[in-house]
Structure 1
Amino acid sequence: MTKTGFVIANLFRKKTRTVLTLLSVVMAFVLFGLLQSLNMVFSAGADFVGATRLVTQSRVSFTQSLPMRMVPEMDATPGVQHVMYQQWFGAVFRDDPQIFAFAVDPQRLHAVYPEWVMPEENWKAFTDTRTGMIAGRELSKKYGWKVGDKIPMQSNIFPQKNGSKDWTFDLVGIYDGKDEEWQRNTAGGMYINHAYFSEASLFGGGLGGIFVLKLDKPELAQSVATAVDKRYENSADETKTQTEKDFQVGFVKQLGDIGLIVRWILFAVFFTLLLVVGNTMAQSVRERIPELAVLKTLGFSDGSVLGFVLAETFALCAIGGLVGLAIATALGALVQKFAGAMLPLAIDWRVWMAGLVAIVLLSLAVGLLPALRARRLKIVDALAGR
């Protein structure tokens, strides 16, 4: 029997215990892969590479709206092709607050987001209809909306000038996405005409919310972001310009310190795993004390015995860890496919490198003490059962 075969045979001598321990390691590394990827998303710095659109918000918070007077100034910024403003409306339909509704200029929306597909007559109707609104295909399908319907809506932020938070809009178009990813993003979105919103709302008429800048060339993203923010530096309306991806990550961060939460979950997972695998290895060595003594009697050195135990621990952690990371990679791709840019979860080489380091450290942490015990084992005492 080879040394590798000897290690594997010892590892699976108690098959039920080993399989259950392996499953624990696999699940721990599935969580590690997904959570580590999520942690990297929330801790990553701004990345302007390949960006075709930028989002400009108030430096204080995206909840603080920027004034409309900034629109022509941003239009004139070198490298900017189109500028769109959108004001969060806070829409509630029936009892569903999960509707992403924005007040926009229809023509600017069409220019900045060509990914939204809709017949030109519907775009024109959206521009010409004072109370017009357009809704995503999936959202319309969810509620059975059809073009021509009058949609009653409430705003949890903006009342009308008469004090009522009840609004009514005319559905003049249903937009779709240009591909499968954008089509999934039609599940919760709708747009209303900013001109009507500005005229009818009690406050907020002169506010543009945030601005979306469509660029001439992706390589200009960094310079455009710097130019915009520098223009409003030390003013009453300081700005923060970033890519769409970074803006969406910042939006989710409003829920709390996601990175800290993820790190504490990982700590709890691996502390528990340390106890489970450590107990398995300690029990395995205790059961094989006479066998380890026989190995030493046959001429195996103390270092060889220590190596056998460490190799067994490493094999257990490596098999479970690699399988877990592989499953996490598949799940991450699935999540990204359905969540799209809202949750850019990708298990890349950085997560795998962190996982390999974790496998090595876990192997040493749970295997070193049992291995040292096996190394210090005295043949006479072991065979005598002392």
Structure 2
Amino acid sequence: MNKVALVWSNLFRRKVRTFLTLFSVLVAFLLFALLRTIVSSFEGGVELVGVDRLNVSPKYSIIDPLPLSHMNEILSVEGVSGIAQQSWFGGSYQDPINFFPKFPVQPRQYFDMYSELIIDPAQLDEFERNRIGAVVPVTMAEQYEWEIGDRIPIEGDIYIKADGNKLWEFELVGVYEAPDGTFLSSAFLFQYDYINEAISEPLKSTVSWFTVRVENPDEAAEVASRIDAKFENSRNPTRSATEAEFTRQFASQLGDIGLMMNAILSAVFFTILLLTGNTMSQAFRERIPELAVLKTFGFSDLTVSVLVLAESILLCSLGGALGIGLAVLISDAIAPQVEALLGTFVLSPAIIGSGMLLAVLLGVVVGLVPAIGAKRLQIVDALRE
């Protein structure tokens, strides 16, 4: 009999047990692929931010607003060459599941700050002129099938009009291209003045944070310190950091993403190691007489042990491949929603490769003890079992 066919038939001799174990391995590698992709997305967002930009946010909590009057004072700080304001609008489009970041901004100011964004000059002029104008990334317009001139209703939850009305209506006046991998690739932008004129205290004339361009990126830390020192004794102290550090701080308010993901994966794989190891040990004990017969037919000790080890590797590799394959399908399906928060959400070849390598290593670890037992098996003793 072909050795591969022999391994395959032995693996599925107890179909229910094998399929349950296979399903467990599948789930483990599905989690591995998705969680590692989430961590990679966070890290990728940090790598793609501007090196010459600082984020000036509230010192104690990102939900505290900063007064708009801070802008001119920040501009007066030595080493600052430009500034743009941004606010987290919240809100939802049609259904809360349709999540994407929404920022009220000063149009010209924003696109001057983020020079990597590409927009038609005529559309930028219209965005600046039209009080209810909005611009979105090309990919977002395609996703929601929006066209220039469409009216887009957004229901507010943070910013509510002074008369209590939560509904805001915007007119799409342009689209822009943005680099993948950052929040810039998924931001719905509209006029800050439109919002500020319609709301009341305490959010009136406030922003969530400022983005500051520094003259010399090598002096970014010094400029950040000067800005914070300026507001240290005010009612609205600030915390300034490079965009990369700001992204890390934002993620850290959710917790240490990498640590949490690794803790989850460690627990999952430890459980799978025990479960799969028990399955292979049980299968080995059941087949002791059969393995003795194989040796009687002339199979060497090494060949028998390799067959047992190959069975374990096949089980884990098959489960790993199915789990990672399912993760690819799921990541493609949820990418539009997740990318609105994390930037690019793609299951990379590196994650797929490391996952399959981990599956093979898991198979080796799980099958090593049964394989050694098969190699040491004595024919006479085994046939008495």
TM-score, L = length of structure 2: 0.70
More displaced stretch, 19-28 vs 230-239 = 19-28
How do residues 301-340 of structure 1 correspond to structure 2 at under 5 angstroms?
305-321=304-320, 324-325=323-324, 328=327, 339-340=338-339
Partner of 1:103: 104
1:12 maps to a residue whose letter is W
SS in 1 for 2:158: coil
How do residues 269-308 of structure 1 correspond to structure 2 at under 5 angstroms?
269-271=268-270, 273-274=272-273, 277-297=276-296, 305-308=304-307
Contact 1:309-1:370 at 8 Å conserved across structures? yes
What CA distance in whole angstroms lies between the structure 2 residues aligned with 1:187 and 1:318? 37
SS in 2 for 1:281: helix
1:227 partnered with 2:222: yes
How do residues 37-52 of structure 1 correspond to structure 2 at under 5 angstroms?
37-42=37-42, 47=47, 51=51
Name the CA shift for 1:226/1:154 in 2 (closer, same or farther; >3 Å). Answer: same
**1:162-197 CA deviation, whole Å, 9 max, x = no partner?**
x53327767465221327969x98887242333760
Name the CA shift for 1:229/1:354 in 2 (closer, same or farther; >3 Å). Answer: farther
Name the CA shift for 1:134/1:345 in 2 (closer, same or farther; >3 Å). Answer: closer
Question: Aligned pair count?
Answer: 370
1:178 maps to a residue whose letter is E
Partner of 2:381: 381
Partner of 1:11: 7
**1:312-369 CA deviation, whole Å, 9 max, x = no partner?**
3234334543565566567657766875473333545764575366335522442234
SS in 2 for 1:88: coil
**1:18-37 CA deviation, whole Å, 9 max, x = no partner?**
98455654553233122123
SS in 1 for 2:63: coil
Name the CA shift for 1:337/1:214 in 2 (closer, same or farther; >3 Å). Answer: farther
What CA distance in whole angstroms lies between the structure 2 residues aligned with 1:101 and 1:50? 20
Name the CA shift for 1:155/1:196 in 2 (closer, same or farther; >3 Å). Answer: closer
Alpha-carbon shift at residue 207 of structure 1 (Å): 2.7
1:86 partnered with 2:86: yes
2:377 maps to a residue whose letter is L
1:156 maps to a residue whose letter is D
1:312 maps to a residue whose letter is E
What CA distance in whole angstroms lies between the structure 2 residues aligned with 1:166 and 1:140? 29
Contact 1:46-1:242 at 8 Å conserved across structures? no
Name the CA shift for 1:308/1:34 in 2 (closer, same or farther; >3 Å). Answer: same
Alpha-carbon shift at residue 108 of structure 1 (Å): 0.7
Name the CA shift for 1:79/1:274 in 2 (closer, same or farther; >3 Å). Answer: same
**1:46-77 CA deviation, whole Å, 9 max, x = no partner?**
54776575543234332223343443455467
How do residues 23-62 of structure 1 correspond to structure 2 at under 5 angstroms?
25-42=25-42, 47=47, 51=51, 54-62=54-62
Alpha-carbon shift at residue 293 of structure 1 (Å): 2.0
What CA distance in whole angstroms lies between the structure 2 residues aligned with 1:77 and 1:187? 31
Name the CA shift for 1:63/1:377 in 2 (closer, same or farther; >3 Å). Answer: same
2:221 maps to a residue whose letter is T
How do residues 243-282 of structure 1 correspond to structure 2 at under 5 angstroms?
243=243, 258-259=257-258, 262-263=261-262, 265-267=264-266, 269-271=268-270, 273-274=272-273, 277-282=276-281
Name the CA shift for 1:165/1:229 in 2 (closer, same or farther; >3 Å). Answer: farther
1:13 maps to a residue whose letter is S
Name the CA shift for 1:79/1:303 in 2 (closer, same or farther; >3 Å). Answer: farther
1:366 maps to a residue whose letter is V
Contact 2:99-2:340 at 8 Å conserved across structures? no
1:193 maps to a residue whose letter is Y
Percentage of identical aligned residues: 30
Alpha-carbon shift at residue 86 of structure 1 (Å): 1.3
Equivalent of residue 117 in structure 1, options 116, 119, 127 = 119
1:10 maps to a residue whose letter is L
Partner of 2:68: 68
**1:116-148 CA deviation, whole Å, 9 max, x = no partner?**
63563x64455456x534254857996989859
Name the CA shift for 1:69/1:294 in 2 (closer, same or farther; >3 Å). Answer: same
What CA distance in whole angstroms lies between the structure 1 residues aligned with 2:242 and 2:95? 33
SS in 1 for 2:191: strand
Partner of 2:192: 193
What CA distance in whole angstroms lies between the structure 1 residues aligned with 2:168 and 2:332? 38
Contact 1:74-1:228 at 8 Å conserved across structures? no
Contact 1:57-1:211 at 8 Å conserved across structures? yes
TM-score, L = length of structure 1: 0.69
Root mean square deviation of aligned Cα: 4.9
